[in-house]
Amino acid sequence: MTRRTVRIAMNGVTGRMGYRQHLVRSILALREQGGLALGDGTVLWPEPVLVGRREHALREIADRHGLTEWSTDLDAVLADDTVDVYFDAQITSARVDAVRRAVAAGKHLYVEKPTATSLDGALELARLARDAGIKHGVVQDKIFLPGLLKLKRLVDGGFFGEILSVRGEFGYWVFEGDWQQAQRPSWNYRAEDGGGIVSDMFPHWEYVLHELFGRVTSVQALATTHLPRRWDEGGKPYPATADDAAYGVFQLEGGAVAQINSSWAVRVHRDELVEFQVDGTHGSAVAGLRGCRVQHRSATPKPVWNPDLPVTESFRDQWQEVPDNLPPGGGFENGFKAQWELFLRHVVLDEPYTWDLLAGARGVQLAELGLRSSAEGRRLDVPELTL
């Protein structure tokens, strides 16, 4: 076994996503399993170089995990020829500037979504990366989740017949921050800091819908701010200038209609924090992050509308759980780690990889058009993006 090291500058690892999902659950998890076996006798060993603004926070993380490299000087890290990949999980509004610098330094790129706060910015990054001839990827973790992998398997297997509609329900109550601390960072609720549920979640809905059911061809959305006042990490009240709920209708290539509610001001009466119900001529499914249940046409009940009588059957019990069978070549595991593995293989083995900055720009496009649709009160076409 030979070991090949890939050095990754990781910016934003003091944040929620950067620390938990990317550093701990992906890169350090890969090291714990002995590295990423490439299948040719080589093991890829990811070596993180932590980057951020606060030295004490970086040092504390490095010490906690036995890491030795960190820096508050992004340009110095980018000037280091031994660093192969630049990873960015900073607050969204800081992304474009840092990624521009990383492209100029010739690093391969892996970045969180949304890739930018505007479509122009997202396309600029995609063009810069293409022209520089570097490898680039954008986090699109949801399609690597067990529930959505099961759903994809049903789609690919023809379970649904003709797919008619998709309805998604995403959200939970994010505390205002006064009498209980908010469980999400406050910048998410300030438009001027790149916040808002449309810009956060529509990029996810774009690739989920696109990969499973067909490209989004039109969007009609109503975005709103249900809670106009929140309290920040320091307990100070601030005006919540960003949208905290969005009610969207999406037409898909192939004819299906998707309707997705996204809200940080909703209490959960569901099995999972996100659920998608797919109805087709031959069957239906309800998929969450982990689980997926189906009902075939042959087992579909025939309810008759009669408000005078109590419900006599348990509709939920009439669905069947899709088993946790492993997909070919792998298991159901952390979606972020699964995508990191594919990206690293793309970097070192040149394996195909479609979740790139152009795919990321499609997500930003849908968010931008969603907000415009809401502001103008009309449905908007979503033109196909090219570079």
Ligand X SMILES: NC(=O)c1ccc[n+]([C@@H]2O[C@H](COP(=O)([O-])OP(=O)(O)OC[C@H]3O[C@@H](n4cnc5c(N)ncnc54)[C@H](O)[C@@H]3O)[C@@H](O)[C@H]2O)c1
Nearer to ligand X (CB atom), residue 12 or residue 171: 12
Q: Shortest distance, CB of residue 129 to ligand X, whole angstroms? A: 18
Q: Shortest distance, CB of residue 358 to ligand X, whole angstroms? A: 18
User: Cβ atoms within 10 A of the Cβ of 91, count?
Assistant: 15
Nearer to ligand X (CB atom), residue 185 or residue 214: 185
- Taking the C-alpha atoms of residue 297 and residue 287, their distance in angstroms, rounded to an integer, is 17
Q: Is 208 in the site for ligand X (CB under 6 A)?
A: no
3-state secondary structure of 111: strand
Q: Is 117 in the site for ligand X (CB under 6 A)?
A: no
- Taking the C-alpha atoms of residue 253 and residue 210, their distance in angstroms, rounded to an integer, is 9
Residues 229-268 that bind ligand X (CB under 6 A): none
# chain residues binding ligand X, by CB under 6 A: 21
Q: Shortest distance, CB of residue 199 to ligand X, whole angstroms? A: 8
Sheet holding 163-171, edge to edge: 320-321, 292-296, 283-287, 274-280, 163-171, 257-263, 245-252, 216-224, 380-381
Q: Shortest distance, CB of residue 94 to ligand X, whole angstroms? A: 4
Q: Shortest distance, CB of residue 307 to ligand X, whole angstroms? A: 41
Nearer to ligand X (CB atom), residue 143 or residue 163: 143
Nearer to ligand X (CB atom), residue 14 or residue 263: 14
3-state secondary structure of 291: coil
- Which residue's beta carbon is nearest to the bound ligand X? 15
3-state secondary structure of 122: helix
Q: Is 18 in the site for ligand X (CB under 6 A)?
A: yes
Nearer to ligand X (CB atom), residue 37 or residue 76: 76
Q: Are 365 and 382 in contact (CB under 8 A)?
A: yes
Site string for ligand X, 132-151 (x = CB under 6 A): -------x-x----------
Residues whose CB falls within 8 Å of the CB of residue 227, separated by 6 or more in sequence, listed in order: 176, 240, 244, 265
Site string for ligand X, 37-76 (x = CB under 6 A): ---------------xx-----------------------
**344 burial via Cβ count (<10 Å: 0-12, 13-18, 19+):** buried
- Taking the C-alpha atoms of residue 292 and residue 155, their distance in angstroms, rounded to an integer, is 12
Q: If we measure between CA atoms, which residue out of 358, 368, 383, 284 comes closest to residue 124?
A: 358
Q: Which stretch binds ligand X (CB under 6 A): 87-95, 256-264, 300-308, 325-333?
A: 87-95
Q: Shortest distance, CB of residue 38 to ligand X, whole angstroms? A: 26
Nearer to ligand X (CB atom), residue 274 or residue 294: 274
Nearer to ligand X (CB atom), residue 12 or residue 177: 12
Q: Is 94 in the site for ligand X (CB under 6 A)?
A: yes
Q: Amino acid identity of 371?
A: L
3-state secondary structure of 58: helix
Which two three-digit tokens encode residue 362?
């499609």
Q: Is 15 in the site for ligand X (CB under 6 A)?
A: yes
The enclosing H or E element of 223 equals: strand 216-224
Q: Which stretch binds ligand X (CB under 6 A): 83-91, 162-170, 222-230, 359-367?
A: 83-91
List beta partners, residue 3: 43
Q: Shortest distance, CB of residue 144 to ligand X, whole angstroms? A: 11
For ligand X, which residue of 90, 225, 251, 284 counts as binding (CB under 6 A)?
A: 90
Residues 95-114 that bind ligand X (CB under 6 A): 112-114
Alpha helices in 113-187 (DSSP H): 119-132, 146-156
Which two three-digit tokens encode residue 240?
């919540």
Question: Which residues bind to ligand X, rule: CB under 6 A?
Answer: 12, 14-18, 52-53, 89-92, 94, 112-114, 139, 141, 185, 187, 200
